C-alpha cells in the first residue's frame, strides 16, 4: 500500500531507483522494529514518510562521505599513475594481483575497462552497492600498499616544482 507511493516519492527526490529501493526497504524494517512505539496521534502514512525522510537523509550523508573518501583515494591513485615510472606500474600491478579474486575483477572492470558500477553489478550478478564496496576496499588496499610511495611522490613533486 505505502511501498509504491514511498518508492515513487524517493525516486522523484533522488532520481535513483537503487536509492529508492534501499530507502523503502530500510523504512519498513525500521517501521517493524519500532512498531510498538508508533504514535496513535499521527497517521501511519505520516509516520512512514517521516521515517523514510530520516533514512533518506542518512543514506545521502553516507553516500556523500563515501564519495568524498573515494575521491581522495582516487586522487592519490591518479598521482601515483602520473609519476608513471616502470617500478611503480609493476608495483601497482602486483598490488592489484594481491586482491581477492572478485575484488580484483570488479576493480579491473571499473578502473581499467571503464564499466559503470551498474554494468559490473549486472555482469557479476551482484548489487551496485556491493560493487561500490569492492571498489572502496580495493582503493583502500592500494592506498595502504602505496602510502609510502605516494608520500615520496608528493615530496618529490614538491621539490621538483620549487
CA dihedral (139, 145, 148, 154) positive or negative: negative
Report yes or no on 144 lying in a domain: yes
Q: How many CB atoms lie within 10 A of CB 16?
A: 15
CA distance 140 to 87: 20
Judgement on whether residues 107 and 42 belong to the same structural domain of the protein: no
Judgement on whether residues 91 and 157 belong to the same structural domain of the protein: yes
Among the listed residues 62, 77, 65, the one whose alpha carbon sits nearest the alpha carbon of residue 153: 77
Q: pLDDT tens-digit profile of 85-133?
A: 666 677 778 888 888 999 999 988 988 888 888 999 999 999 999 998 9
Q: pLDDT tens-digit profile of 44-91?
A: 888 888 888 888 888 888 877 766 666 666 555 555 445 456 666 777
Residue whose C-alpha cell reads 559490473 in the numeric block: 120
Judgement on whether residues 93 and 57 belong to the same structural domain of the protein: no
Q: How many CB atoms lie within 10 A of CB 121?
A: 19
CATH number for 116: 1.10.10.10
CA distance 80 to 74: 10
What range does the domain containing 124 cover? 84-162
Query: pTM score, two decimals?
Result: 0.43
Tell me how many domains the chain contains: 2
Report yes or no on 19 lying in a domain: yes
Judgement on whether residues 102 and 148 belong to the same structural domain of the protein: yes
Report yes or no on 14 lying in a domain: yes
CA distance 17 to 8: 9
Amino acid at each position: 500500500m505505502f511501498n509504491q507511493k514511498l518508492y515513487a516519492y524517493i525516486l522523484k527526490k533522488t532520481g535513483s531507483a537503487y536509492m529508492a529501493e534501499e530507502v523503502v526497504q530500510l523504512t519498513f524494517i525500521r517501521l517493524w522494529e519500532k512498531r510498538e512505539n508508533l504514535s496513535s496521534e499521527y497517521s501511519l502514512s505520516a509516520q512512514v514518510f517521516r521515517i523514510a525522510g530520516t533514512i533518506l537523509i542518512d543514506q545521502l550523508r553516507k553516500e556523500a562521505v563515501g564519495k568524498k573518501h573515494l575521491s581522495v583515494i582516487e586522487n592519490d591513485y591518479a598521482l601515483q599513475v602520473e609519476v608513471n615510472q616502470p617500478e611503480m606500474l609493476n608495483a601497482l600491478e602486483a598490488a592489484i594481483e594481491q586482491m581477492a579474486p572478485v575484488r580484483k575483477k570488479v576493480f579491473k572492470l571499473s578502473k581499467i575497462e571503464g564499466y559503470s558500477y551498474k554494468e559490473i553489478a549486472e555482469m557479476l550478478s551482484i548489487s551496485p552497492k556491493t560493487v561500490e564496496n569492492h571498489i572502496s576496499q580495493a582503493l583502500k588496499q592500494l592506498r595502504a600498499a602505496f602510502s609510502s610511495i605516494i608520500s615520496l611522490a608528493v615530496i618529490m613533486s614538491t621539490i621538483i616544482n620549487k
